[in-house]
Amino acid sequence: MNERIIIDPSIRHGKPVVWGTRVPVQRIIGSLAGGATPEEVCEKYGIIDADVRAALGYAEELVEAEAAHPLPTS
pLDDT of residue 1: 59
Q: For residue 54, is it within any domain? A: yes
Asked whether residue 72 is assigned to any structural domain, the reply reads: no
- Which domain range does residue 32 map to? 5-65
- Exposure pattern of 41-60 as b/e (b: 16+ CB <10 Å)? bbeebebeeebbebbbebbe
pLDDT digits (tens, 9 = 90+) for 39-51: 999 999 999 999 9
Q: What is the pLDDT of residues 17-38, one digit of tens each?
A: 999 999 999 999 999 999 999 9
Domain contains 74: no
Contact (Cβ atoms closer than 8 angstroms) between residue 54 and residue 18:
yes
Q: Does residue 37 belong to any structural domain of this protein?
A: yes
